[in-house]
Amino acid sequence: MKALRQSPLHDSLARLRPEWGVLNSMATALRFAGAIGSAVELADLSALQRSGLKGPGAADWLHARGVPVPERPNAWGPIAPGSLIARLARSEFLIEDGMRGNAVPALEVALRDGAAGVYPVLRQDAALLLRGAAVHDLFAQTCSIDFKSIPPRERTVTLTMMIGVAVTIIDTSLDDKPCYRIWCDGTYGAYLWDALLEIATELGGGAVGLTVVIPDAPIATRPQ
């Protein structure tokens, strides 16, 4: 099994000596040796498939293909099965598949024929997951936004700065268990990961692999 792509966080992950797997042709950390606390868990989800598009015709183009476009800017919503769409401002969209979703490749194929007022956006993000009871303590040290004041049911997309890095954040918390998804430009991913990991460790947490945050992930172990 050969990985054709590297996560923007690959070198930072490699220093932690994980057990590797391959997802969507990208080497991904499945698990790390040693137990950590669960106060803050930090995971790399960069291997999930994602795509972007923008333009004055983007919303109508997505509607025509059965994609449930959020009605207001800076909002997100689910796309079955397991995928999501985030509306960034009025006319730009981020689409990301879960483990078994197939919205991204279907939309990319449809867009190859071109569409008036619709333009593809290359997404080479570092994608992170943060969860745990002390997540808001971490945000207090790294970001000016009070995420506790934003109800998860509002499905708000927050574009802000985190330790000097421009990020997109959504709250995917369930049952009062804080959980956030974060995207940033891949070139800043390793810096953001390293800084968040240091704080997460201080708060009683640390890095976790994909099999921890997605226990039923259908990923084979990568041969060493």
Q: What is the CATH number of the domain that holds 144?
A: 3.30.1360.120
Q: What is the mean pLDDT of residues 7-24?
A: 95
Q: Are 109 and 152 part of one and the same domain? A: no
Give rounded-to-5 percent helix, strand, coil for the chain.
25, 35, 40
The average confidence (pLDDT) of the chain is 92
Asked if 180 contacts 86 with a C-beta cutoff of 8 angstroms, the reply is no
Those residues with Cβ within 8 angstroms of residue 45's Cβ, 6 or more apart along the chain or in another chain: 127, 128, 129, 181, 210, 213
Q: Are 97 and 207 part of one and the same domain? A: no
Q: Provide the number of structural domains found in the chain.
A: 2
Q: Is the model's pLDDT at 157 over the cut of 50?
A: yes
- Phi, psi at 112, each rounded to 5°: -65, -30
Of 40, 36, 41, the residue nearest 203 (C-alpha):
40
Range of the domain at 96: 50-121
pLDDT digits (tens, 9 = 90+) for 129-156: 999 999 999 999 999 999 999 999 999 9
Q: Is the model's pLDDT at 209 over the cut of 50?
A: yes
**Of the listed ranges 5-9, 17-21, 77-81, the one predicted with least confidence:** 77-81
Tell me if the bond preceding 223 is cis, omega within 30° of 0.
no
Q: 188 exposed, middle or buried (CB, 10 Å; 0-12, 13-18, 19+)?
A: middle
**pLDDT at position 224:** 47
Q: What is the mean pLDDT of residues 173-183?
A: 90
Q: What is the mean pLDDT of residues 189-208?
A: 97
Asked which of 101, 121, 141 is the last residue of a domain, the reply is 121
**Of the listed ranges 87-91, 97-101, 173-177, 183-187, the one predicted with least confidence:** 173-177
Asked if 163 contacts 20 with a C-beta cutoff of 8 angstroms, the reply is no
**pLDDT at position 201:** 96
Distance CA 168, CA 162 (A): 10
Asked if 183 contacts 165 with a C-beta cutoff of 8 angstroms, the reply is no
In what helix (H) or strand (E) does residue 162 lie, and over which residues does it extend? strand 157-162
Q: pLDDT band at 221, cuts 50/70/90?
A: low
- 43 lies in a domain? yes
Q: Is the model's pLDDT at 14 over the cut of 80?
A: yes
- 91 lies in a domain? yes
8-state DSSP, 18:
P
Q: Are 133 and 35 part of one and the same domain? A: yes
- 4 lies in a domain? no
Q: Are 201 and 99 part of one and the same domain? A: no
Helix 189-202 with 135-142: angle, nearest 10 deg: 130
- 169 lies in a domain? yes
